[in-house]
Amino acid sequence: MNQVVEKALRGMALLKVSNIRHWTDRTFSFSCERPQGFRFRSGEFVMIGLMVEGKPLVRAYSIASPSWDDALEFYSIKVQDGPLTSKLQHLGAGDEIVMRPKSVGTLVHDALVPGKRLFLFSTGTGIAPFASLIREPESYERFDQVILTHTCREVAELAYGYDLVDRIRGDEMLDEMVGEKLMHIATTTREESPHMGRMTDWIRDGRLARETGAPLDPATDRIMICGSMAMLQEHKAICEALGFVEGSNSEPGQFVIEKAFVD
């Protein structure tokens, strides 16, 4: 590698991409090699991107694969005029992305105190950190039930989540680990489907309680939230009104939030 490129990369890893799948005209997923010695906690994010005009252009991306996996998986939005995703969406097998091999984030088990039910509320590509967490053994060791909700505008956008659950069910070891503990609730807001509406409305009007057997309760439930800023704010307000206390890595609590990658 020449010295100019080496300097521009400064601690970044160059990783070969594989398994690119375009789910809709708004989303796609891909895998890449995992750098040797790179460790992360399921639910965390890293900075990834591309070399553009000799410089790394990176954004925060949740790692969608679990911490034990050999490959790293990412689920991304496509924004036609987005500085990174307008280019990233054209990745082909064998192309390279750059990654800063240092992960961070609050959607991790360390930021939650123990509980019985774990709720993972997501919209759009906000499902990515939960794709990691629902394949993480610790989720099932720490909780009796893991409830993943995924809300999108249209039916086609739910495909990544359905495929994820199918992949778990199709893998003998994962299926055994998950057993009956995982519940997947997928809803749409702008196209007809069996389950419709925002999860914030489901919480307020009792539909979530009916579907899961009991209303949200800070005594037993822990919550992780990932989506747009508006979605986070609304879920956070609901949590706080119900008496849930926000957690962090240094002070675990009863709910945690993180913004999904957007441009």
Contact set with ligand A2P (CB under 6 A): 123-124, 151-153, 189-190, 198, 200, 227-228, 230-231, 234
Q: Of 31 and 123, which CB lies nearer to ligand A2P in the complex structure?
A: 123
Kindly state the greatest CA–CA separation across the chain. 61
What are the φ and ψ backbone dihedral angles of 22, each rounded to 5 degrees? -95, 115
Q: Least CB distance from residue 154 to ligand A2P, whole Å?
A: 8
- SS3 of 142, please? helix
End-to-end CA distance of the chain: 30
**Contact by Cβ (8 Å): 91, 30:** yes
Q: Of 85 and 151, which CB lies nearer to ligand A2P in the complex structure?
A: 151
Q: Least CB distance from residue 137 to ligand A2P, whole Å?
A: 29
Q: Of 8 and 155, which CB lies nearer to ligand A2P in the complex structure?
A: 155
Q: Least CB distance from residue 203 to ligand A2P, whole Å?
A: 10
Strand ranges for 38-95 from DSSP E = 45-52, 55-62, 71-77
Q: Of 234 and 258, which CB lies nearer to ligand A2P in the complex structure?
A: 234
d(CA 196, CA 203): 13
Q: Least CB distance from residue 234 to ligand A2P, whole Å?
A: 4
